[in-house]
Chains A and B, each alone.
Chain A
Amino acid sequence: MTSTNPVILSLRGIGKTYGTITVLQGVDLDIRAGEVIALLGENGAGKSTLSGIIAGSREPSTGAMTLDGQPYAPASPRQAIDTGVALIHQELKLLPHLTIAENVFVGRWPMKGGKIDRAAMVRRAEEQLQRLGLMIPATRQVEGLSTAQQQLVEIAKALALKARVLILDEPTASLGGAETDLLFAQIDKLRSEGVGIIYISHRLEEIRRIANRIVVLRDGQKVAEFDRGDVPVRQVVEAMVGRSLERMFPTIPAPKGGVMLSVRNLTGANGAFRNVSFDVREGEILGIAGLMGAGRTELVRAITGADPIASGEVRLGGQPLALRSPADAISRGIVMVPEDRKLQGLIVEHSIGENLGYANTDRVAAKGWITGRGLASFADASIRRFGVKGRAEQPASALSGGNQQKVVIAKWLARNPRVVVLDEPTRGIDVGARSSIYDIIVELAASGVAVIVVSSDLEEVLGVSNRILVLSHGNQAGILDRSEATDVRVMELATS
């Protein structure tokens, strides 16, 4: 339906090599006005390299691009933006203490008589905000806006610069369902206005809803192209991983033991959640679902001692706990794999071995003495057990997202914990690595650990949980058994 629209941006034979390593090879791609192209691929498939080349932050080693038929070779992101091509990053790059209008026009302030024309700046920023259906004054500070709103401000910024090609890199990674809907409505609107959009995401369900075309990259090459968005997920995944998938989720065992963790009327000190009560049995996997801002992360952070509790009780094996710090929780055998791998889970500049060691100093160091050999043998054991593709002395930054996550998990499992909480365990992780994370989760449950999995990915919560606790605006909306849980049922509760 869009194949008749004019081509805005055209890529021919784009390749990129670093020394002897080829990360991208011979990619052809046409972006037409008014279409959304989903760019898919596992981590390391070349998606970010390709989008970086289009947006001017990287130079291609081979190939050429044309924009409106003219040669297009941006030397910097700024040049790309000036010619109408903008990349919206996964990690938002807004200045929190400035207003929305200032953010939209930073570096390109509208001038009048040698001064910044503040009135024009605010007016023009608000035009773009309205275009995106964002009804907030442009004079408001960015700090305190929701992630979805910030995302839209980023898009407004690109639109104010008259972008005709927008690259959205995992725009929904931190959005809840309602916010995703809002974003999609705006993307639809932009599409109808003739903007060409490249949409990068790991969430295949979204792609079905939003994309006109799907392009799949694998090992730096374009391996598949579908002329419609509603391609069966399995077909897309198979193209991404290059093998046929037997299953997405492992079989979830039924819990055998008694109640391990018991939470009663728990209320967070910051008011993010109220009166939450649930039990997790030995060997049980409890999923926690809810929209962004429903209090999921705050709830599990309170259970693991990372955030203070206002009232309520947490019992472990019948014993009431007083958790004042993560150290308290860890000493009782309650551990957490946090939401943000790079900011909370790992020190990416430090080696894998050191990262594993920080949480296990008492195991690694006999009487407080750490030797290189002791650390290495400890790290090697963990690396082998969890199939991390890396060596103990490598910096964690050298690993892919999936392997980094395995390191974060591995650092806790060496302690034989009784309760393991995983917050967004597969965020930003490619499909292939996801299933090995699921295998680890199931293995943990099978060994009698009580597991809590928080996820924004509905399919994931449904796939790995024995029961699902649904939060809505900080309140407990319900607990569903695996047998009665469907995506519709969970969403009903989450939006109640």
Chain B
Amino acid sequence: MEDVASARRGAAGIPRLFSLKGATGPLIGLILLCLFLSFTSDRFLSTRNFLNILDQVTVLGIMAVGMTFVILIGGIDLAVGSVLALAMMVMGYLANELGLPMAAAILVALVASAGTGVVSGFLITTFRVPAFIATLAMMSVARGLANMITDGQQIVGFPDWFNDLASIRHGGFLTVTVALAILVFLAAYLFLRYRSAGRMLYAVGGSNEVARLAGIDVRLVTIAVYAASAVCAGLAGIVLASRLDSVQPSSGLGYELDTIAAVVIGGTSLTGGSGGIPGTLIGVLIIGVLRNGLNLLNVSPFVQQIVIGIVIAIAVAAETYRNRK
């Protein structure tokens, strides 16, 4: 009896390992997209181009990890683009104007980012401000703060080693920033899948009340999630600074929408409670590959916006259709 049950489970274990929980549709989309581009552009299918895509999606990817947490608990975070800019400016100001060591400047920038997330989380839990409004307010405040630091001016010129993080490909393929993004994804994946705290996000997103009655501290979880999202946005800002060798307060305008799009394309439900990191990875890659491919095909940036809009609509419509069946 026992043996039969465990044998059955063992047999089901292999497919389960590869199960993407609702992200199979986006994965098929990504593969089709890659096939299409391989045939239409002779420059698409190369290691070099692939590495370019990875470099290009690090910022979006790191932000999307935090956004996945937020959307999983049924929330939304519109502040990430502004928080990214704030982190960049705090780091740039501390390092270049005050002469702090880079490491310390980065640390303070991340702490400042976390602070914005904690404030959003408090607004949402303690003052019951809807997440959309709380983070909209934070989006405005963080952007204003980022501008105030240098009165809207950019800061240029960081130590060489800092730029090298995004430009030197160790072993011929891996920049430190890409490695960092991969680590963030891996940690988030393991956290959501194997940590009890990670599973709690699914419970909170599935139903606030069920989670609370099950003894989960919904308030703490919510605040922590918005803090995590803000830290991811701040980290993405550091990566962007390294890529650009400069920081400016207008960075990250509209990034929140790309980030939300990547998460949603990846199959995480906006109502909360279902989805996950593998889907988000695919969503991020779809946006990255699409941008890259359209550039290679010399499609104008305006048309690119239209294409990406259509992809978002198709991805969500396809998922909804599948669920209805």
Bound together: yes
Q: Which residues of A contact B (CB under 8 A)?
A: 306, 325-327, 330-331, 336, 338, 343-347, 349-350, 354, 357-359, 361-362, 364-365, 368-373, 376, 380, 393, 411
Does the CB pair B196–A368 fall under 8 Å? yes
Sample 5 A-B pairs with CB under 8 A, ordered by A number: A306-B212, A330-B215, A349-B273, A365-B196, A372-B16
B197 within 8 A of A: yes
Chain B residues within 8 Å of A343, by CB: 207, 209-210
Task: Pick out which of these stretches binds chain A: B57-65, B82-90, B198-206.
Answer: B198-206
Minimum C-beta distance from B310 to chain A (A): 28
Does the CB pair B195–A411 fall under 8 Å? no
With A361-B199, A365-B196, A370-B194 given, is the CB distance from A327 to B210 under 8 Å? no
B216 within 8 A of A: yes
Does the CB pair B194–A347 fall under 8 Å? no
Does the CB pair A361–B9 fall under 8 Å? no
With A349-B273, A354-B199, A371-B194 given, is the CB distance from A411 to B214 under 8 Å? yes
Chain B residues within 8 Å of A346, by CB: 210
Chain A residues within 8 Å of B9, by CB: 373, 376
Does the CB pair B209–A344 fall under 8 Å? yes
Minimum C-beta distance from A335 to chain B (A): 9
Within 8 A of A (CB), among B195-242: 195-200, 202-203, 206-207, 209-217
Q: Select from chain B the residue with minimum beta-carbon distance to A343.
A: B209
Chain A residues within 8 Å of B202, by CB: 347, 350, 354
Interface string of B275-303 (1 = CB under 8 A from A): 00000000000000000000000000000
| Complex Cα gap A190–B8 (Å) | 57
B135 within 8 A of A: no
Does the CB pair B215–A347 fall under 8 Å? no
B5 within 8 A of A: yes
Does the CB pair B200–A326 fall under 8 Å? no
| Complex Cα gap A359–B207 (Å) | 13
9 nearest interchain CB pairs? A347-B206, A361-B196, A365-B196, A327-B215, A330-B215, A359-B214, A358-B203, A358-B214, A347-B207
B120 within 8 A of A: no
B268 within 8 A of A: no
| Complex Cα gap A362–B200 (Å) | 12
Q: Select from chain B the residue with minimum beta-carbon distance to A350.
A: B206
Q: Select from chain B the residue with minimum beta-carbon distance to A373.
A: B9
| Complex Cα gap A346–B214 (Å) | 9
Does the CB pair B212–A358 fall under 8 Å? no
Given A344-B210, A370-B198, 5 extra CB contacts under 8 A = A327-B217, A331-B215, A347-B273, A350-B206, A369-B195
Does the CB pair A358–B195 fall under 8 Å? no
B274 within 8 A of A: yes
Interface string of B128-166 (1 = CB under 8 A from A): 000000000000000000000000000000000000000
Minimum C-beta distance from B8 to chain A (A): 10
Q: Which of B9, B13, B197 gathers the greatest number of chain A CB atoms within 10 Å? A: B9
Chain A residues within 8 Å of B211, by CB: 358
| Complex Cα gap A365–B199 (Å) | 10
Chain A residues within 8 Å of B274, by CB: 349-350
Q: Which of B13, B198, B199 gathers the greatest number of chain A CB atoms within 10 Å? A: B199
Within 8 A of A (CB), among B11-57: 12-13, 16
Q: Select from chain A the residue with minimum beta-carbon distance to B212.
A: A326
Does the CB pair A380–B5 fall under 8 Å? yes
| Complex Cα gap A368–B9 (Å) | 23
Chain A residues within 8 Å of B212, by CB: 306, 325-326
Minimum C-beta distance from A463 to chain B (A): 26
| Complex Cα gap A346–B211 (Å) | 9
Does the CB pair B206–A370 fall under 8 Å? no
Does the CB pair A327–B273 fall under 8 Å? no
| Complex Cα gap A350–B211 (Å) | 12
| Complex Cα gap A376–B193 (Å) | 14
Interface string of B182-198 (1 = CB under 8 A from A): 00000000000111111
Chain B residues within 8 Å of A380, by CB: 5
Of the residues B13, B193, B198, B203, contact of A347 by C-beta under 8 Å: B203
Does the CB pair B217–A370 fall under 8 Å? no
Minimum C-beta distance from B3 to chain A (A): 13
Chain A residues within 8 Å of B193, by CB: 370
Minimum C-beta distance from A338 to chain B (A): 6
Chain A residues within 8 Å of B273, by CB: 347, 349-350
| Complex Cα gap A305–B228 (Å) | 29
Minimum C-beta distance from A321 to chain B (A): 15
Does the CB pair A326–B215 fall under 8 Å? yes
Chain A residues within 8 Å of B214, by CB: 326, 330, 358-359, 411
| Complex Cα gap A326–B213 (Å) | 6
Q: Select from chain A the residue with minimum beta-carbon distance to B210.
A: A347
Minimum C-beta distance from B21 to chain A (A): 11
Does the CB pair B213–A306 fall under 8 Å? yes
Chain B residues within 8 Å of A370, by CB: 193-196, 198-199
Chain A residues within 8 Å of B200, by CB: 358, 361
Minimum C-beta distance from B325 to chain A (A): 12
Does the CB pair A345–B217 fall under 8 Å? no
Does the CB pair A327–B196 fall under 8 Å? no
| Complex Cα gap A369–B5 (Å) | 23
| Complex Cα gap A246–B213 (Å) | 36
Chain A residues within 8 Å of B194, by CB: 369-371
With A365-B195, A368-B197 given, is the CB distance from A327 to B207 under 8 Å? no
Q: Which of A330, A370, A371, A393 gathers the greatest number of chain B CB atoms within 10 Å? A: A370
Does the CB pair A368–B195 fall under 8 Å? yes
| Complex Cα gap A370–B217 (Å) | 18
Q: Select from chain B the residue with minimum beta-carbon distance to A301.
A: B213
Chain A residues within 8 Å of B199, by CB: 354, 357-358, 361, 370
| Complex Cα gap A355–B207 (Å) | 11
With A361-B196, A376-B9, A380-B5 given, is the CB distance from A325 to B206 under 8 Å? no
Within 8 A of A (CB), among B260-277: 273-274
Chain B residues within 8 Å of A358, by CB: 199-200, 203, 210-211, 214, 216
Does the CB pair A327–B216 fall under 8 Å? yes
Minimum C-beta distance from B20 to chain A (A): 15
| Complex Cα gap A127–B251 (Å) | 63
Chain A residues within 8 Å of B215, by CB: 325-327, 330-331, 359
Q: Select from chain B the residue with minimum beta-carbon distance to A376.
A: B9
Chain B residues within 8 Å of A359, by CB: 214-215
Minimum C-beta distance from B43 to chain A (A): 42
| Complex Cα gap A325–B217 (Å) | 8
Q: Select from chain B the residue with minimum beta-carbon distance to A346.
A: B210
| Complex Cα gap A281–B66 (Å) | 49
| Complex Cα gap A376–B16 (Å) | 13
